[in-house]
Amino acid sequence: MKFNYAAPVTLEELSELKKGGGKLFSGGTDLFVKMRAGVLKPDLVVDTKKVETPKLECDKGLRIYMNTTYTDILKSGCARKYSLLMKILLEVGSPQIRNRGTPVGNLGNASPAGDFLLSTYVYDSKVIVGPSMREVPVKNFVKGPGKVDLSDEEFIYAVILEPLEGYTTYYEKVGRRNSMVISIASIAVALKIESGVIEDARIAYGSVGPTVVRFTDLEEKLIGERPKKELFESLAMEYSDRVKPITDVRASAEYRKKLTGNLLIKAYLNMNL
């Protein structure tokens, strides 16, 4: 397979090249796999790494920029208080993938199994879209599997995660082995409990629908309640009923539905509320 390579240094050039049909990449851990499999056959690949951007900013939420790798975040001191994010990033791929792959790329790829993508739903993240630098909430940005709200000349410049202060969190990815696996289902939970009562609840699932899913009406059922096992058991059944997973090579839809409820119960039991 033959293709051309460009490495622009400004965001304007980057935008022009994308508009002309170039495929953007930073780490290449998704693009080159797809090209190898023949799913994508671009005439031009556009390396974003020559564009100078900050790596991370931690003062107003956590800002992750286009060329920031998973390893950059895991090694950064200031991102450490985003403990749920750290747990999730440690489970991404392998050292080799984390050293090259980027959260912004994972977002752009918009796989319902995307590990970083799952975290963005719990952190109520916003996507900064260049070149205009408009801001879009992640749940509006992701339209479906591999589909995002970007026009031809637009690209993801950064993503902002809002901090979760005083939350208890849980994350689990179910797959055939721990590393390098594409999840059968995954869950991320963040609960804020004040004086024994649930004040805020965020529950996101990966791989059980066309995108990462959160059901705010179900989350609201927890608010004002004491965290009792029976409460989570009945909510687990509602989640199992609500999700619409598919059957694929990794698991059946029925299995994923069952797993959806069980993961919530497991999260409750492991959070020691």
Partner 1 sequence: MIAIKISFKLNGKWVEADVEPYKRALDFLRDDMGMTSVKEGCSEGECGACTIIVNGRNVHSCLMLAVELDGKDVWTLEGIIESGETYISEAYADVGAVQCGFCTPGFIVSTKVLLDENPNPKEEDIKKALEGNICRCTGYARIIEAVKEAARRKRGDAS
Q: What residue ranges bind partner 1 (CB under 8 A)? A: 1-5, 7, 27-29, 32-33, 36-37, 45, 47, 49, 71, 90, 93-97, 99-100, 178-180
Q: How far is CA 196 from CA 1, 14, 189, 193, in A?
A: 60, 51, 17, 6
Q: Which is nearer to partner 1, 99 or 262 (CB)?
A: 99
- Rounded to the nearest whole angstrom, what is the least distance from the CB of residue 152 to partner 1 in the complex? 22
- Distance, CA of 268 to CA of 201 (rounded, Å): 12
Residue 36 CB, shortest distance to partner 1, in Å, is 6
Residue 262 identity: N
Write phi, then psi, for 246 (nearest 5 degrees): -110, 165
- Considering the complex, state which of residue 58 and residue 97 has its C-beta at the smaller distance from partner 1: 97
In the complex with partner 1, which residue's Cβ is closer, 3 or 228? 3
Tell me the two tokens of residue 156.
């993801």
Alpha-carbon distance values, 260 to 15, 51, 140, 148 (Å):
40, 41, 23, 25
Minimum CB distance to partner 1, residue 44 (Å):
9
Contact at 8 Å (CB) between 71 and 99? yes
Judged by beta carbon, residue 180 or residue 269, the one nearer partner 1 is: 180
Q: Judged by CB, which is closer to partner 1: 37, or 249?
A: 37
Helices (H), the chain: 11-19, 31-36, 70-75, 83-90, 95-100, 103-109, 115-122, 138-141, 216-220, 229-242, 253-270
- Taking the complex as a whole, the smallest distance from the CB of residue 90 to partner 1 amounts, in Å, to 8
Which of 41/134 has CB closer to partner 1? 41
Give the number of other CB atoms < 10 A from CB of residue 226.
12
Q: Please state the closest distance from residue 130 (CB atom) to partner 1, in A.
A: 22
Q: Min. distance of Cβ 102 from partner 1 in angstroms? A: 13
